[in-house]
A and B are shown apart, each in its own frame.
Chain A
């Protein structure tokens, strides 16, 4: 998939340098890169390693440890459906399964039209209004089939 905002080396270097004064700068750098490009561009790994005096393997190890960081950009919207216990107690598991079936994708998959990527999430802190999900940074609770359909339709899925 082509990134909407192709990464230039100079631009990435500037993003990295912006955070070098921080204590423990790597996670802020990774978040900033992903906010800008929708993923961690492959070319940035060497730049981070050089700037932080780490090996490429160490940087790669950090990127792959965390669920949040992507190798390639997601769909236009990221839908995170909670799989944790509180949402399960309110029928969250079957709601998630139905949703994936309807979209024709599995967890981490993106719909064919590129509108929506569905990720599992383990708790959004909306456990007293379960089941819950988050679309980009907007939260939704007390979901049922029709509300999920409406929210997904709005996201263009």
Chain B
């Protein structure tokens, strides 16, 4: 009997290892023959620990399993049975392209990876010129999934056209935004897809070396990625002759050191070079003068991990999903105070309300939803009145928000938006790299100004708005430049939380 349990952090954090141990022990005690496979995450975090048992070739799920449940799970008498996993509403409603294999295969099993379409894209890429690969990625409409939404193909073309003795592919795996975990999930659950994507990027632009800058807060992802790299090197996916093509590409993991700002690409490059992670002024673009001053592709994990499926199925197939200029799928991460949280991959275009209310089932607390912060700590707080906004880059921009890395944090009506605004400024002050004044000084003054508002100082509101304008226009990078989004959206959309403080003071 095949039994599957996730080894993803979100599963082990809620006891999956204990369940796995109990299952193994129970099976041994009772003489039941089981083959226990540890897989990535299906993305249904609220069902973890999730146990899947293969019955007649179909994987049946059991959700929220504790070690006490294992006997009933194995004889299929458990009241935690969910039926076939692929038939669960959450799974049925998705279009899984980037995450097709995640939670299905064993993360470090290259044969299973191959059996599920892996390496088809890279093999195809080895038969194309760099320019042809770049065109394919451009035609797919893929845009940077890290937050900026810059067209990936255009970035690649710049690096492709640059002439230099050495070029680099750098993967930004410094996923520091609260509410986001897609990068972590794919690195822990399907690491070869990122490796394949980076190798394709290397062939496309003529880069022979790559780095994954992975945050130290993700020890499990670091371990899995390093193990996957060893396997990929041994199997000829990486090395002097990628897939026997005669073209070279190799890559390594580099571990960050707890600085949020290193998720900004130029800070990341400085950090990778062994410097303080301060932001660089642009130009020059990293595409022309990046790591060690050489032309460098800097892409987010999800952007790179999506490239293999684009090369496998063709640009048009990917571009057929989505709305407007947001092509393909969004890997939405639903988090916070939410009944059903996890990873939901779907074509761009679903509305915020549909996702939060229908897919995610509202709050975990059962109280009314008050706000959803979309796009991490630098994203706006969206009120219920904006729940009809479709998930798309331009659509969110028009509504005064940003999609960012597509993380959504849901808050119920107990949330104090003044405190959330204050936290945004405090976070910016803690994490500022210190290079530009609006961010370094502005964030600290921002905390003080919000404290004045909390004490009932009406005049401080005007100062806060002015300060936010300055930070927005004058900061070098998105940390100082976007912190005004959560702050001002809280002030504008939830005026009661700011007015009440004043009235209470009077």
Contacts and interface: CB of A to CB of B under 8 A. Distances in A.
A15 interface: no
B308 interface: no
Given A66-B259, A85-B423, A141-B13, A124 B254 contact: no
Contact of A89 (B209, B337, B427): B337
Contact of A124 (B217, B275, B341, B423): B217
B81 interface: no
A126 B178 contact: no
A61 B184 contact: no
Contacts of B431: 122
Contacts of B177: 123
A28 interface: yes
A86 B335 contact: yes
Contact of A85 (B216, B277, B336, B430): B336
A30 B257 CA distance: 9
B196 interface: no
A87 B292 CA distance: 37
Contact of B257 (A23, A25, A66, A124): A66
Interface string B209-238: 100000011111000000000000000000
Interface in B246-287: 254-260, 271-278
30 contacts: A23-B209, A23-B291, A27-B255, A28-B254, A30-B257, A31-B216, A52-B274, A67-B259, A84-B178, A84-B179, A85-B373, A86-B335, A86-B409, A89-B411, A89-B415, A90-B364, A122-B260, A123-B176, A125-B218, A126-B181, A127-B179, A127-B333, A128-B45, A128-B333, A128-B335, A128-B338, A129-B46, A129-B341, A132-B13, A141-B13
Contact of A125 (B181, B336, B338, B342): B181
B14 A85 contact: no
B407 interface: yes
A2 B48 CA distance: 42
Interface residues of A, number: 42
Contacts of A65: 259, 276-278, 433
B274 A127 contact: no
B412 A89 contact: yes
A8 to B, nearest CB: 24
Contacts of A140: 13
Contacts of A121: 217, 258
B406 to A, nearest CB: 12
Contacts of B258: 66-68, 121
Interface of B: 9-10, 12-14, 45-46, 48, 175-181, 183-185, 209, 216-220, 254-260, 271-278, 291-292, 333-338, 341-343, 364, 373, 377, 407, 409-412, 415, 420, 423, 427, 430-431, 433
Contacts of A89: 336-337, 409-412, 415
Contact of B335 (A31, A122, A130): A130
A128 B410 contact: no
A26 interface: yes
Given A125-B9, A134-B217, A142-B14, A85 B409 contact: yes
Contact of A27 (B10, B183, B254, B423): B254
B277 A66 contact: yes
A37 interface: no
A128 B217 contact: no
Contacts of B373: 85
A128 B274 contact: no
A123 B377 CA distance: 10
A9 interface: no
Contacts of B209: 23
Contact of A127 (B178, B412, B430): B178
